Amino acid sequence: TLQVQNVSKAATVHDLLRHTAGMTYEFLGSSPVQRQYTQLRIGARERSLTDFTQQLAGLPLVCEPGTAFEYSRATDVLGRVIEVVSGQPLADFLQAHIFEPLGMTHTAFHVEDAHHDLIAEPFARDPDGGVQMRVMDVRAPAALASGGGGLTSTAMDYARFLQCLLSRGRMPGGQLLAPRTVDFMTADHLGNLPVFSAGSQALLPAGHGFGLGFAVRRQLGGAPVPGSPGTYFWGGLAGTTFFVDPALDLFGILMLQAPNQREYYRMLFRSLVYAAVLD
């Protein structure tokens, strides 16, 4: 496995957005770099985003920036980029510029005490057996505001966000993003670049590329799930998944707390939605 200490070209923000910055995720494999991520508990929620990025910067890359897709902690780094550019903590920036304008009143990095009884919990023991995957405790604030994961939300809040994307950035009373910005985000940005690891390949279905935060369907055939060309999607570790199909003016959101069953239900959900579309 390649470990890059000195790079010929520095990673760009574009590389961070499309996961070609040379970083990785510790759960995608057991390469020497991934083992270093694990040993350092790189995603520990007890450290600040500043400390996280400084520690990550001291680790080697798995490949040269700009040469391959590897799903990674680059999105966490983007959270720190937002903090530096805006001068605001990531949580405050998201609240002011996304959640509040869209009316996402129940979306944050932790759940307030008054709403603890609404938290959807996974089974204490997986009903199918196997190793139980732990999900994070969202009842108390954490030091790490992770750009790549950790927000809590409701189905309605998430639907407001997806409706904004489907509407090419339009929101009630205004425009959150320019329409062509959304078009740019949801286009394929990988082209002919290879996928670096088997772990990343498992996350990117056949017939798909990757945009600026989403897997993007390139063609009608090839993929094992239905969807129009241009459909974009992604999901979360505990099971949440969404897709947006601009060609059909359609989006779907499925919120699960079933980590070990997530792939089965994601496929089933997508298939059931498209089976019900008669237009």
27-69 tens-digit pLDDT: 999 999 999 999 999 989 999 999 999 999 999 999 999 999 9
Count of CB atoms situated within 10 Å of the CB of 206: 11
- What one-character DSSP code corresponds to residue 132? P
What pLDDT is recorded for position 2? 46
Q: CB-based contacts of 134: which residues, under 8 Å, 6+ apart?
A: none
What pLDDT is recorded for position 266? 93
Determine the average pLDDT of the residues in 89-113: 96
- Given pLDDT bands bounded at 50, 70 and 90, which one contains residue 5? low
Task: Say what percent of the chain tops pLDDT 70.
Answer: 98
- What one-character DSSP code corresponds to residue 130? S
- What one-character DSSP code corresponds to residue 131? P
Q: For the whole model, what pTM was predicted?
A: 0.93
Q: Is 165 exposed, middle or buried (0-12, 13-18, 19+ CB in 10 A)?
A: buried
- Given pLDDT bands bounded at 50, 70 and 90, which one contains residue 137? confident
Following CA atoms 196, 197, 200, 204 in sequence, which dihedral angle do they give, to the nearest 10 degrees? Answer: 70
Determine the average pLDDT of the residues in 136-155: 90
CA distance 278 to 1: 48
What pLDDT is recorded for position 126? 80
Report yes or no: 215 and 261 within 8 Å, Cβ to Cβ.
Answer: no
What pLDDT is recorded for position 206? 93
pLDDT tens digits, one per residue of 204-223: 999 999 999 999 999 999 99
What pLDDT is recorded for position 3? 53
What pLDDT is recorded for position 1? 45
CA distance 28 to 148: 15
Amino acid at 138: V
Q: CB-based contacts of 94: which residues, under 8 Å, 6+ apart?
A: 151
Which residue in 29, 51, 50, 97 sits closest to 40, CA to CA? Answer: 51
What pLDDT is recorded for position 127? 80
Determine the average pLDDT of the residues in 20-32: 94
CA distance 18 to 66: 9
Report yes or no: 232 and 211 within 8 Å, Cβ to Cβ.
Answer: yes
Determine the average pLDDT of the residues in 175-186: 98
Long-range (24+ apart) CB contacts under 8 A made by 269-276 are: 269/241, 270/225, 270/226, 270/227, 270/243, 271/225, 271/226, 274/226, 274/227
